[in-house]
Amino acid sequence: MSREGVGAPLPRKEDDRLMRGRGQYVGDIRLPGLHDVAFVRSPLAHARIRAIHVPKAYRDRVFTAVDIDGVLPIRAVSGLPGFKVSEQPVLATGKVRQVGELVAMCVAPTRAEAEDIATAVVLDLEELPAVHDMLAAREPGSALVHEHWGDNVFLETLVDVGIESALDAPIKVSRTISTGRQCMAPIEGRGTVVQLDHRLDQLVVHTASQMPHIVRNGLSECLGIEQGRIRIVSPDVGGGFGYKAILLAEDVALAWLALRCGHPVRWLEDRREHLTANANCREHHYRITAYAERDGTLRGVDCEATVDSGAYSAYPFSACLEAAQVASILPGPYDFPAYRCRTWSVATNKCPILPYRGVARTGVCFALELVLDAVARAAGVAPEIVREKNLVRPEQMPFENITKKHFDSGDYPEALARALKAVDVEAVRARQRQDEPDGRRIGLGLAIYCEQAAHGTSVYSGWGIPMVPGHEQASARLTPDGGLELRIGVHSHGQGLETTLAQVAHEILGVPVARTRLVHGDTAMTPYSTGSWGSRVMVMAGGAVAAACEALRDRAVRIGAHLLQARSEECRFEGGHVVGPTGDVPLEAIAHTWYRRPQDLAPDTDPGGLEVTAGYKPVRDSGTFSYAAHAAVVAVDPDLGAVEILDYVIVEDGGTLVNPLVVDGQIYGGLAQGIGTALFEEMRFDARGQPLASTFADYLLPGAADVPMARIDHMETPSPYTRFGQKGIGEGGAIAPPAALANAVNDALAPLGVELLHSPITPRRIVEAVLAAETPAVTAREAA
Amino acid sequence: MKPAAFAWERPDSLPALLARLAEAPAGVKLIAGGQSLGPMLNLRLVEPALILDITGVPELRTARVECDTLVLGACVTHADIEDGRVPDLTGGALRRVAAAIAYRPVRNRGTVGGSLVHADPAADWVSALTALGAEVEIAGRTGRRTLPVERFVTGALAVALGADEILVAVRVPALPAGAAWGYVKHCAKIGEFAHAIGAVRLEPGAGRGRAVIGAVEGPPVLLADARPLFGGRIGADFAARFDPRAADLALRDAGMADAVERHIHVTVLGRAVAAAAAPDPRANTLPEAA
């Protein structure tokens, strides 16, 4: 391993810019003649639009659906049988179907003036019953979000693998488990600045996006203009987490507006818009039954899962990816013989559900790991015993599970064993048996998951959504002075790709990381890519960069051999030099020769020169499976419901780690978000579909005092299918914490007869459950 | 989230401020630290035509001791108190309350007077100053008057202040020798608004004391005579005599119907009593929070 190559714990080179406040985000873009946009948004969750009254003075500065005639609605279809298509109008037509839906677009020299205009626009709305509860929405007679469907179900799926055989198991544990609706809350919200470049006859769309090329697809389809006339630039992006992997109606509206007005226009999402109108995710409901032998060996799992998909199918992932994934990944890292899962993706009068770090995995892990703890209690064994008995074993790898997921490699029981050792399970249990001086109760919780990542064509073609990843491409170009430029179509929005992909290149070419520049986030300058999502970048773009650098290396060797007056076969590439029998020549000299002294090249030199675009797919594209065992120790105050995390251990296997520092950073960040899911974050709605949090005073994110310094232990089982054995790990940190923490709280409160099955586990919910367990009769009477 | 347009003035004396306040049109708002008003303006929850910045009035930024009363100007910040830049007659009680208000950036700007006038039921000063028996000093064109905090705060976000008046100072009586003070709040997250506050100021030697249950829907629940919480008598053994049922009854009487809410508030009050009986030696340096 070279000092800067794959495996080196290099500090991130982009941090010099980002940590000093010198990043360049959409909000930092200043253009002459820039006008700001404020939207008039629906104040109601479900209503018929009778009229939109625009004051006469503002007629030329306010645009509604009638003005943007010809702009097509956003359609994110799925090819799965039975999927019902929603059409999301860019500006509402006929009905509004969620609070915050765009009704009119107001443009003014400043945002404050645009908001003044927006408040002067009067909406005449006829309120309709809001569909706010996904279970009720499935029932006949519910109000309908999309009338012509006849019901509110985007998609229903069923998988049944011999569940009948499990029904006679001696242990049968059923639970209703659910996860709250969340908002993603990256530090930077969405933002779009659009200008017309008359010289190039192009719309230049600066937008905070994880997937610039997919945004171009979507804009081209909605606006009906050819892709060559659209350029997407995604500058520094302050956190994505999935929210910036979506084409928003705002993006389409702004692009239309720039064409219409001719001057640059800008929309910067404010936090209220972010929370109430856009960034929703995660709301799942499970009715799950586990069947097991008396010793905790699973016989089967039966589940009905419902996902609140919101009003529209979001582009490009669609409204059903989440629920459909639930069915395929619910078995987690476990091996059991029978399985049934029915899923519903339900339309409601809420914001569209969007893919958030971990996507369906966080909810699935929560449901399965909680029910496994319930199995352990029913079997009278420790929770780790149930897991040990059912985890896929290393000798089974590669393993095809009950839903045909192909686990590439790993030792799941070893991860669990290491986590138990690190957390010192015996010491924790000994402490549990003694009374704490402050009256709190100690609990230990476990959760294990495996995370399919970087899954490609064979998986996504089956979903039939607007975006199917194929070969990932990268361009590598030596500059005349021997520096390296890498061009990739994925985007770095905090993952450290400017460092890690340079490390991959260094591994092949030996160019110092400091002399390697990453060009990304611009459709005009990068190869097509579906972008950064699905924890795919280090596998896919890493593989593509390696492939491009290898091709570049081979050309460099041929040029170098000529300079050394040797045959290529006699030369090797080492440490940035071509080494021949009689001497060596550095890459700088080879680059200088190609660009500046072509007269020194061999007559039959490769005309492709020192710039290569290469494509890459792993040997198998069914995905890598990173995994982790999380162990949490908590102290719970049963009277106030406060939860303190005393210890948190993560044993993680991401295959070959390209940069362990960056991997640790991803895990810490994911953990913080997972703690938010577990204990704090919840976007609640009332019966009229009104969101009940519109600021961070109401929507609580974990703060510094709430996130412990986790202890991370790495296993490194290479994937047999990827270039360096690396696996996707970007989302994993956020998957297990809700399950581990819920299990820990339940372990702490089990002696009181308390079991909490809904996230977030707020102080209020804990106290409620404790009081209900203490005095069920009294509480029931008072509640009545 | 940009405020609607407003005019901004910063008078440099109290008479000038009061004169401007009297002649100003309806829709005038005073601003001191702006930690509540700022977000409300941005969210357009308020759209005043004129904002009068009162931090230019020197008198409002001072603090002094008058006999055994601490007089804090309305514009004294939480950080002024936290950092000990103002005198103290409460044995550090005010300082510890101040140190646990929201986050440091909020404390740098937020003021004690602004917090009381805004009268958010979950705000620390609303409960703490009620328990301490503090008064507010109010100035108008016709002169000055004082009111106990519990009569000044009349409801959630409601105070007994005329349109042409301003709160100029808070008068906090000294905590006498032998008095016990306990203040505990419960937040879903450190730094966020409290869900429950308990505060007690007890004088076991004199057999009397006050108790406050705060962060409720309206103004804090004050037991100006806290003896019923302790079986009718406040003595040296008050902690052992604390009766949660009496506190629960007080909350029922105050109209708190939710049993879970009552349980949380009673627990927090109990912990405030315990803190008063056995002050944590670290409490002089650490914020008090449940």
pLDDT tens digits, A710-737: 999 999 999 999 999 999 999 999 999 9
- pLDDT, average across residues A425-439: 96
Residue A87 pLDDT greater than 60, yes or no:
yes
**B244 CA: distance to closest CA in chain A (Å):** 13
**B160 CA: distance to closest CA in chain A (Å):** 27
Token pair 């765009």 is found at: A102
What is d(CA B184, CA A572) in angstroms, rounded to the nearest whole number? 72
Task: Assign A777 a pLDDT band (cuts: 50, 70, 90).
Answer: low
Position A784 scores a pLDDT of: 39
For chain B, give every domain's residue range: 7-56, 58-173, 181-289
Chain A's closest residue to B197, CA to CA, is A640
What is the CATH code of the structural domain delimited by B58-173?
A: 3.30.465.10
What is the number of CB-based contacts under 8 A between chain A and chain B? 69
pLDDT single digits (tens) A196-236: 999 999 999 999 999 999 999 999 999 999 999 999 999 99
Determine which of A94-108, A418-432, A452-466, B236-250 has the lowest per-residue pLDDT on average.
Answer: A452-466
For residues B236-255, b (16+ Cβ closer than 10 Å) or e, as one string? eebbebbeeebbbebbeebe
pLDDT single digits (tens) A129-140: 999 999 999 999
Chain B's closest residue to A770, CA to CA, is B260
- pLDDT, average across residues B263-284: 85
* Structure-block tokens of residue B221: 């629940």
- pLDDT, average across residues B121-140: 98
Query: What is the DSSP code (8-state) at residue A28?
Result: G
Chain A residues within 8 angstroms (CB to CB) of chain B = 110-112, 115-116, 119, 270-272, 637, 639-642, 680, 694-695, 697, 700, 702-703, 705-706, 762-764, 767-768, 771, 778-779, 782
Whose CA is closest to A282, among A310, A302, A304, A301? Answer: A310
Whose CA is closest to A38, among B40, B46, B1? Answer: B1
Q: In what order do the strands lie in the sheet with A122-127?
A: A95-96, A47-53, A122-127
Residue B2 pLDDT greater than 70, yes or no:
yes
| C-alpha dihedral, B127 to B129 to B132 to B135, nearest 10° | -130
Position A1 scores a pLDDT of: 43
| Residue A717 φ/ψ, nearest 5 degrees | -100, 110
Position A101 scores a pLDDT of: 98
Burial zone of A697 (CB within 10 Å; 0-12 exposed, 13-18 middle, 19+ buried): exposed
Contacts of residue A38, defined as CB under 8 A and 6 or more positions apart, other chains included, come to: A106, A108, A111, A114, A115, A117, A118, A267
Closest by Cβ to B188, choosing from A270, A762, A782: A762
Consecutive H or E run containing A520: none
pLDDT single digits (tens) A597-642: 999 999 999 999 999 999 999 999 999 999 999 999 999 999 999 9
Residues of B in contact with A682 (CB under 8 A): none
The CA distances from residue A189 to A207, A512, A744, B123, in Å, are 11, 34, 33, 29
**B98 CA: distance to closest CA in chain A (Å):** 18
How large is the ipTM?
A: 0.94
Q: Average model confidence (pLDDT) for chain A? A: 96
Whose CA is closest to A69, among A223, A199, A188, A174? Answer: A223
Between strands A711-715 and A643-653, the pairing is parallel
Residue B3 at interface with chain A, using a CB cutoff of 8 Å: yes
| Cross-chain residue pair A767–B260, CB shorter than 8 Å | yes
| Cross-chain residue pair B190–A700, CB shorter than 8 Å | no
**A43 CA: distance to closest CA in chain B (Å):** 15
Across-strand partners of A713?
A: A651
What is d(CA A338, CA A343) in angstroms, rounded to the nearest whole number? 17
| Cross-chain residue pair B4–A768, CB shorter than 8 Å | no
Secondary structure of A316-372 in HEC code, one letter for each residue:
CCCCCHHHHHHHHHCCCCECCCEEEEEEEEEECCCCCCCCCCCCHHHHHHHHHHHHH
Query: What is the DSSP code (8-state) at residue A12?
Result: P
| Residue A366 φ/ψ, nearest 5 degrees | -60, -50
Position B283 scores a pLDDT of: 47
Determine which of A719-733, B177-191, B275-289 has the lowest per-residue pLDDT on average.
Answer: B275-289
pLDDT single digits (tens) A443-469: 999 999 999 999 999 999 988 899 999
Residue A96 pLDDT greater than 70, yes or no:
yes
Determine which of A197-211, A399-413, B16-30, B230-244 has the lowest per-residue pLDDT on average.
Answer: B16-30
| Cross-chain residue pair B4–A119, CB shorter than 8 Å | yes
Residues of B in contact with A694 (CB under 8 A): 43
Whose CA is closest to A440, among A628, A640, A287? Answer: A640
Residue A2 pLDDT greater than 80, yes or no:
no
In A371-420, beta strands by DSSP E: 399-400, 406-407
Binning chain A into helix, strand and coil, the percentages to the nearest 5 are 35, 25, 40
**A186 CA: distance to closest CA in chain B (Å):** 18
| Cross-chain residue pair A771–B189, CB shorter than 8 Å | no
Instruction: Name which residue leads in pLDDT, B25 or A523.
Output: A523
Domain B7-56 CATH assignment equals 3.30.43.10: yes
Task: Assign B289 a pLDDT band (cuts: 50, 70, 90).
Answer: very low
Residue B287 pLDDT greater than 90, yes or no:
no
Closest by Cβ to A768, choosing from B5, B193, B260: B260
Residue B282 at interface with chain A, using a CB cutoff of 8 Å: no
Q: For chain A, what percent of residues have pLDDT higher than 90?
A: 97
Position A773 scores a pLDDT of: 95
| Cross-chain residue pair B264–A640, CB shorter than 8 Å | yes
pLDDT single digits (tens) A360-407: 999 999 999 999 999 999 999 999 999 999 999 999 999 999 999 999
Position B290 scores a pLDDT of: 40
Chain B's closest residue to A769, CA to CA, is B260
Domain B181-289 - what CATH class?
alpha beta
- pLDDT, average across residues B158-176: 96
